[in-house]
Amino acid sequence: MRPAKGLNRREVLAAVPAVAAAQAIKLGGPSQPLPVAVASSNGLRAVAEAVKRMEQGLPPVDAAVAGVSLLEADPDDVTVGYGGLPNEEGVVQLDAAVMDGTTMRAGAVAALEGIKHPSQVALAVMRRTTRVLLVGEGAKKFARAHGFTEENLLTERARKIWLYWKENAAPSDDWLPDPKELEDPDIRWFVERFGDAYFRPQGTIHLSAVDGQGRVGCCTTTSGLFFKLPGRVGDSPLIGCGLYCDAEVGSAGATGHGESNIIVVGAHTVVEFMRQGKSPEEACLSTLQRVVRNTREVYLKDAQGRPKNNLTLYAVNVRGEVGAASLWSGSQFAVCRTGQAPELRACAYLFQRPQRTP
């Protein structure tokens, strides 16, 4: 963009938020108390932190990053940041993205190794470059240039879980499982949470935030599909898929089977459905219907033709209404609204998950 006469590029960028915020305010005041944050079920602490930061005046995108950073630093969340489960070669590769719905700027990193807070690097990509997405070695060089320190993200627990997967993945390869492995507290911890049969889920945290000043922002961060192909990038760092927001409408994001979400450009689709007048929950459900229609490969479907994998979508509109929906029953989402304690709520869903036989 050529700056208007008399304005340099920095002044043009700085001028954008005021214009967008003014447009959003014209749409009418909030019908629910703001600020509000919505996130995946692992984000209970994150939504509380995001709301606290917005109450202190931080823009929603920065508040979202502050919230998810708690999980990125937590070794007990094996789906995000430090302690995240590695790829099939035992290397932790992280994806993250941020978007500011007021400026319509975004930043993202993918397949980033050795940096604990990919969400903060994504924020730096948004603020400190003219680009949107950096990957792999380039993303790491950029992070180091901005003072992020490199560290080993593979915790002992994550290494043991990866080895357990590797040894049990194929009966005819060269890796032999230790019969005592299932007695290891770290392996038992993993199997209790994620099961032994459904062995490759993908966790993630998404957080969408709306403040009381017409500003909207979001962030998604993940270690991606457990034991993924090296270099595999899911939906999380792809703007429009893992997250999207627009201060005229609201914000949305996703966790779950990334490939299913990429095909429907899920988060953008949710925001567009809300623009057409759907509630956040209706917008999430309509987008999931598209996922069902677009799931064509036999290996992705169960005997009744339904997607085998799960996908959950989260949304909030500028009036502060929230909603979330999953393909399969049993998921929850986290919400925090100013003046209220953070809480988990049940997601709407398309299909009832069959009861497990004991």
Q: Which residues are catalytic?
A: 204
Nearer to ligand GLY, 155 or 221 (CB): 221
Task: Give yes or no for residue 235 binding ligand GLY (CB under 6 A).
Answer: yes
Q: Which of 222, 287, 309, 310 binds ligand GLY (CB under 6 A)?
A: 222
Task: Give yes or no for residue 234 binding ligand GLY (CB under 6 A).
Answer: yes
Only one of the segments 52-60, 142-150, 234-242, 301-309 lies at the binding site for ligand GLY (rule: CB under 6 A); that segment is: 234-242
Which residue is it, tokens 């290397």?
Answer: 91
What are the angstrom distances between the C-alpha of 222 and each of 18, 73, 153, 208, 324? 32, 12, 13, 15, 19
CB of 227 to ligand GLY, least distance (A): 12
Task: Give yes or no for residue 202 binding ligand GLY (CB under 6 A).
Answer: yes
Nearer to ligand GLY, 102 or 309 (CB): 309
Judge whether 243 and 99 are in contact, CB under 8 Å. Answer: yes
Task: Give yes or no for residue 224 binding ligand GLY (CB under 6 A).
Answer: yes
Nearer to ligand GLY, 202 or 317 (CB): 202
Judge whether 51 and 336 are in contact, CB under 8 Å. Answer: yes
**Which residues neighbour 37 within 8 Å (Cβ) at sequence distance 6 or greater?**
46, 47, 50, 51, 54, 63, 64, 67, 207, 208, 209, 210, 316, 335, 336
Left (φ > 0), alpha (ψ -120 to 50) or beta: where does 224 sit?
left
Task: Give yes or no for residue 108 binding ligand GLY (CB under 6 A).
Answer: no
With H, G, I as helix, E, B as strand and everything else as coil, classify residue 324: strand
Only one of the segments 60-68, 229-237, 286-294, 298-306 lies at the binding site for ligand GLY (rule: CB under 6 A); that segment is: 229-237
Site for ligand GLY in 255-274 (CB under 6 A): 255-256, 258
Q: Report how far Cα 142 is from the mean position of its chain's Cα atoms.
A: 22
Residues that bind ligand GLY (CB under 6 A): 202, 204, 222, 224-225, 234-236, 255-256, 258
